[in-house]
Structure formats: structure tokens, C-alpha cells
Amino acid sequence: AQSVTQLDSQVPVFEEAPVELRCNYSSSVSVYLFWYVQYPNQGLQLLLKYLSGSTLVESINGFEAEFNKSQTSFHLRKPSVHISDTAEYFCAVSGKSGYNKLIFGAGTRLAVHP
Amino acid sequence: GAVVSQHPSWVICKSGTSVKIECRSLDFQATTMFWYRQFPKQSLMLMATSNEGSKATYEQGVEKDKFLINHASLTLSTLTVTSAHPEDSSFYICSGLDRNTEAFFGQGTRLTVV
């Protein structure tokens, strides 16, 4: 079984400042890792994912996350945030075998202020 | 990316009635679909996993007779909330799994039972 812990429920930050959203996971098997973003009253959009290979993965809108196996972490970072990045961010994990159901963290509300 | 269409986006129903939510994968075949429930300001909780042509697998604590899931084709899964009560009011989200292990999410359905 897997579990995900997102250490911060809310992260306020000023526009153009850097941000890190923390995610730690627990699993007895090898996993895939994901970050999803959710805007109000909408479904989830995949931001980035780690399946294998390079431990640093990037999204097209400037976010990046690094898989750290020894620390069982997959923190999300952006060097300079925009107002439009304000949303709920979910870290998720799935096992590499079976039917790959996603287990989500509690979510982190990123609030970017001008 | 692939598209999952979920309908309706919002619905209000009277207590005791049933509501059906549809989830369609528009440009890929989803042999597996997941149904999640999300309470305000909380994470997504997996309710059940459905595989095309077979019975859904429900997570612990989810009443299978109350939340009927049908996955009759590779592009359509439905969730029927039977005899709905106010405590069933929530945001329901489906996702379809493609062959590349990526889950694509519907836009969600806001159910309000009055």
C-alpha cells in the first residue's frame, strides 16, 4: 500500500518569488509519482510525472520536481511564480504493477499574491 | 493529451432520487476507469475502480449498492448515486487510464442533494 504526505496545506507567496511544495511518500514497492493541479470546480490536470530515468522532471510552464528515493520525496518547485499559478496542487503515487490506482496527498493550496 | 468528458458538470436532485454521472474517454480507450469523491478543501478519495466488462472494485467503506458503477464499453463508465441523501453531496471526478499508465481526469460533477 502507498501513502502520500503533503506537508503544507497552504503556501502563500508573492508573485515572481520562488516556491517549493513538499511531498513525501511511503511505499513498499516501486512507484510512479505525479503532480496534478486543480483549479476551482474543475478536474485535475497533470503537471508532471516521474516514471523512470532522470530524477528531475519538468513541466512546460516552468515547474520541476525531483525524485529522491533515499528521502522518499518528490518536491515541486518553481523559480518564479505567477498569479495564474494560484491553484490546488496534489501529489500522487501509484504502484508500478497492478491497475495503477492513484493515491493522492491532501493537497497544497498555492496562493500567489501581487 | 487525451480527453475525458464528464457529464453533467453540476446537478441538483431531491433526497431519495437517483443521479447518473457519465464519464467518456473521447480519444482513447480506457480499459480502466476510476471514480473519486472530493469534499470541500480536501483531497480526492478513490471510491472504486472499474474495468471494462467486469464488476467494479470498491474501496473499503464505499457502499457498492449505493454507488453503482457500470463500465460497459472502453469509452464509457457511469456512476449512479442511488437514493441520494444530503450527505452524498460532493464533487465526483472520474479518470480513465490509458496504455501509457497516465490517468486523464474528467472535469468533475458537483452533486447537491436537497
CA–CA separation, A43 vs A40, rounded Å? Answer: 8
Mean pLDDT of the A59-84 span: 95
Residue with cell 501509457: B100
CA–CA separation, B48 vs A8, rounded Å? Answer: 28
Cβ pair A43:B34 closer than 8 A: no
CA–CA separation, A29 vs B100, rounded Å? Answer: 19
Cβ pair B46:A103 closer than 8 A: yes
For A105, nearest residue in chain B (alpha carbons): B43
Q: What is the pLDDT along chain B (114 residues), one digit of tens a residue?
A: 678 999 999 999 999 999 999 999 998 888 889 999 998 878 889 999 998 888 899 999 999 999 999 988 889 999 999 999 999 999 999 999 877 667 889 999 999 999
Res B1: pLDDT: 67
Q: What's the one-letter identity of residue A90? A: F
Phi-psi bin for B53: left (phi > 0), alpha (psi -120 to 50), beta?
left
Triad B41, A67, A44: Cα angle to 5°: 30
Mutate which of A3, A25, A100 to disrupt the B interface (most B C-beta within 10 Å)?
A100
